[in-house]
Structure 1
């Protein structure tokens, strides 16, 4: 009697009921990753996960059930989702321009049980927020954004920043709570090299923090650390870690952070819709369905077809070269692990939730609405 083939972890028994392309979330792995992040950080009060990866109120509530009460987000829509979930503390890791500041104030008024804060790195923004706060009879909490190498927002942690910190404290209606630093560029696969880079980048940050404390700013929190570096911060005082990708993981981090034990919990499924040549297949996974900021062969890795070589990508189609003598046919399902899961999730209004290898429901990507 022939032994039945053991199914791989990602194979879905009722996949014929799922249209493609689709975002798939594996519930058991998702919950394991949440438990793992709490274990790694140790003290859950020092964990401030970034919700840009999942953008889901349902997953937010899963984290809250695990004891997480502070979150970080990138958009007003994500902040609104967190307020609606009853989160206690929300950081918008972005500087609001004047029109966004009005939306921000509306949000603060609407969700009075949530403590909201945002980033600043210049006095013009602080002045606008101060005027808006005074006009609305409220206090707006902010964190001073530091540039540790991303070179997109923030200030270098030096003496000029000390002076700016002091100046911000003079503005009415502004509550300066601490410092923020994002270090997404520090992602070398060798953990020793990565830690060396991180120590060099954060040495002036910790020096700045100590100077501010010595000058009387005692209640000062640093929020920092993406998925590649958050573990380095767990031993620091008054530091909150803010990883995000851990919840789903992706192929990029599987390659660049091999020591971390999070498991892929989100995939995209795609089907073969055409075979334009003997060694060519065409899939229904266009760049409307998978993050496409990376080079063509670094967008998706197919777990059940690792030998595929991508040769063409457009809005609705992905063309790939397959080896001679291949077994693929029209309608076959391919399970793809995105290289970058965060922007991939943002392409979908809903995800399919899998438990015990079967589709059980759909999960709304709540904050996808920008």
Structure 2
């Protein structure tokens, strides 16, 4: 019996290419729901998959709310049928007008964004107010990631109060991303997450004392998903787990997800003894990590990826004589999200055969708005 990943019709897949194993995507979606307890608690981040068909699969499974990284990803989700999307970025300048255009073009879709600055809140209020509309927002909270969000300091309550005072702003809750907490041991990670939420709880108490509505909490990503899922008050927003990758697969051993996205590449040369070259360069797999953390081949042993250029990958191998030009290799990306972003389309695999292609529509910077 051939391995689960091996295509029966390899000749139908050009290389390098992105393979999406549909049955495994469906399994990962169900596992995500099982961990959360129900689909209503999920805000999956679509930045990983960027494909309308994957969003449709999540909608069919009962998931109704989504997070995204860009306005284009929000539009991709809306085009797939999503009615509730949150752009997990603070949008300013031209992007505020694009957000308004999205709202006008998709009036039946709730679209929110993040705010961590009073000046940006006022900008949203003015731009949306001029069109007689309201900007839906979440207060972005920095509880240790130090990438975005307002610090949990003496000024954050005033910003939260401002969001309730501005007439053309509607604040729906807090967004808290603790993606820096990735300790492999689950119990250690759980304690780190809980420690990181101590000041969040103090902020919630201050909100209550100020007589303001209690916000909903949208927290975490994939690394802290299994921790936040234990707290029924929190809405969870994993993303990578829908496709899964080698990086999180090794780092988060308690998470039960399966590889559902692979890179297919072919041996195109054997330039000298002990070395092969494949058509998998920087354009085919995310290259932001060191070269030893880019791809893990499933059907190759005792190898080392020693070099990459735009179109080529050079691999040192032990079994050089048994490898032929034209051989197909299947690899798991270390980081699947930016790897998906390198492809315009993906081959869809069912029953070990390519059966379709899906457009990676969300990789565009702009679709229509």
Q: Tell me, yes or no, whether TM beats 0.5.
A: yes
Which of 343, 347, 355 in structure 2 is aligned with 1:352? 347
- Residues 155-194 of structure 1, C-alpha deviation per residue, up to 9 Å, x if partnerless? 1223321122112222220011111111111111111221
Kindly indicate whether the alpha-carbon contact (under 8 Å) linking 1:149 and 1:201 is maintained by their aligned counterparts in 2: yes
* Cα distance, 1:325 vs structure 2: 5.4
Q: Verify: 1:97 aligned to 2:71, yes or no.
A: no
What is the aligned residue count? Answer: 365
* Cα distance, 1:29 vs structure 2: 0.6
Within-5 A mapping of 1:16-55: 16-55=11-50
Give the direction of change, closer, same or farther, for the CA distance of 1:302–1:267 in structure 2 (3 Å limit): same
Q: Determine the structure 2 residue equivalent to 1:133.
A: 128
Q: Determine the structure 2 residue equivalent to 1:112.
A: 107
Which of 303, 309, 315 in structure 1 is aligned with 2:304? 309
Kindly indicate whether the alpha-carbon contact (under 8 Å) linking 2:207 and 2:214 is maintained by their aligned counterparts in 1: no
Secondary structure (helix, strand or coil) at the match of 1:134 reads helix
Q: Determine the structure 2 residue equivalent to 1:298.
A: 293
Q: Determine the structure 2 residue equivalent to 1:63.
A: 58
Kindly indicate whether the alpha-carbon contact (under 8 Å) linking 1:281 and 1:322 is maintained by their aligned counterparts in 2: yes
- Residues 84-141 of structure 1, C-alpha deviation per residue, up to 9 Å, x if partnerless? 2232211000011210011100000111111111001111111110100110100001
Which of 158, 161, 166 in structure 1 is aligned with 2:161? 166
Secondary structure (helix, strand or coil) at the match of 2:170 reads strand
Kindly indicate whether the alpha-carbon contact (under 8 Å) linking 2:204 and 2:214 is maintained by their aligned counterparts in 1: no
Q: Determine the structure 2 residue equivalent to 1:3.
A: none
Kindly indicate whether the alpha-carbon contact (under 8 Å) linking 2:226 and 2:255 is maintained by their aligned counterparts in 1: no
Which of 198, 206, 210 in structure 2 is aligned with 1:203? 198
Secondary structure (helix, strand or coil) at the match of 1:223 reads strand
Secondary structure (helix, strand or coil) at the match of 2:332 reads strand
Within-5 A mapping of 1:152-301: 152-301=147-296
Q: What CA distance in whole angstroms lies between the structure 1 residues aligned with 2:166 and 2:320?
A: 71
Secondary structure (helix, strand or coil) at the match of 1:144 reads strand
- Which stretch shifts more, 23-32 or 83-92? 83-92
Q: What CA distance in whole angstroms lies between the structure 1 residues aligned with 2:226 and 2:184?
A: 14
Secondary structure (helix, strand or coil) at the match of 1:352 reads strand
- Residues 287-333 of structure 1, C-alpha deviation per residue, up to 9 Å, x if partnerless? 11100110101000001114220111111011010015551110100
Give the direction of change, closer, same or farther, for the CA distance of 1:231–1:217 in structure 2 (3 Å limit): farther
* Cα distance, 1:211 vs structure 2: 2.2
RMSD over aligned CA atoms reads 1.2
Secondary structure (helix, strand or coil) at the match of 2:89 reads coil
Give the direction of change, closer, same or farther, for the CA distance of 1:338–1:12 in structure 2 (3 Å limit): same
- Which stretch shifts more, 154-163 or 311-320? 154-163
Give unpaired runs (5+ residues) of structure 2. Answer: none
Q: What CA distance in whole angstroms lies between the structure 1 residues aligned with 2:146 and 2:140?
A: 11
Q: What CA distance in whole angstroms lies between the structure 2 residues aligned with 1:217 and 1:32?
A: 41
